[in-house]
Amino acid sequence: MVIKKVGIIGCGLMGSGIAEITARAGYDVLVTEVNDELLKKGIARIEASTQKAVDKGKSSAEDRAATLARIKGSTKLEDVRSCELVVEAVIEKMEEKKRVFGILDCVCPPEAILASNTSSLSITEIAGSTRRPEMVLGLHFFSPVPVMRLLEVVRTIMVKDEVVEAGVAYGKAVGKETVVCKDAPGFIVNQLYLPYTLVAIRQWERGLATKEDIDKAMSLGLNYPMGPFTLMDFVGLDIHYNACMAIYEETKDPAYFPPPVLKKMIQAGHLGRKTGRGFYDYSGK
């Protein structure tokens, strides 16, 4: 399967990052958003990220210009009909993803590959909203997309082997190390990572140590780049909570059920770095 043009649905934090690395790898990119304001914000994020790469000497001004020239924006979902691969990166809600895939199934040619960037939702259920489940797979990038090296390629029991192979090839082309896993709640990383963070919250609440010392212990003791509280703030507590609940609702495994304090923090608007406050206060930074 030859992929020349890639559609990205959603130009938020994840979608803009996927668009950036895809264009940088030489693909033509069409990224869509629901309105002009969000589209402009997403494109501006790509422009800032690519400029940062130039400033750090990781890219040239010429390469940046070529990357940006390959990216086109649209507020019409149907404009991705000319793409061989479409990657969905919308809000982590099953009904919204199924709605988007239902539209993509109608506007994209039968041979187009449809992929979801979901971090924890069922690819099988998403694929079931189309008439081409054999052409649907998961491509789970990690945030921030231009920096993180991993791509989880998720296969269902319906997907064709050549579609998975195309997903792996695309991942390698955009500079990622790939792993292939079956469609199971949370895939590889989140099945292991989410319970670890929830244990950290519970131990902090029980008074084992301060959150600062728990973060320091995990960073220095296990050589993790960030401790659990710093990382949850970076990801966003709302995103983190939704991922935990998505796995819990499917498995009923109590290891994935978030402590009440996490929901209370979200209700208070303390979502992490993006709102200036989460487990830590970022208002002065």
Query: 217 near 227, Cβ under 8 Å?
Result: yes
140, 240, 242, 270: the active-site residue: 140
Does 223 qualify as catalytic in the annotation?
no
Beta strands in the chain (DSSP E): 5-9, 28-32, 71-74, 85-88, 113-116, 136-141, 150-155, 177-182
| 162: its two tokens | 């050549």
Does 74 qualify as catalytic in the annotation?
no
Does 111 qualify as catalytic in the annotation?
no
Report the largest interatomic distance among the alpha carbons of the chain, rounded to a whole angstrom.
57
152, 240, 242, 270: the active-site residue: 152
Query: 148 near 272, Cβ under 8 Å?
Result: no
190, 240, 242, 270: the active-site residue: 190
User: In angstroms, rounded to a whole number, what is the distance separating the alpha carbons of residues 81 and 88?
Assistant: 14
49, 116, 117, 119: the active-site residue: 119
User: In angstroms, rounded to a whole number, what is the distance separating the alpha carbons of residues 107 and 86?
Assistant: 11
Phi, psi angles (nearest 5°) of residue 27:
-80, 150
User: In angstroms, rounded to a whole number, what is the distance separating the alpha carbons of residues 69 and 213?
Assistant: 46
Does 212 qualify as catalytic in the annotation?
no
| 33: its two tokens | 């958003």
Catalytic site positions: 119, 140, 152, 190
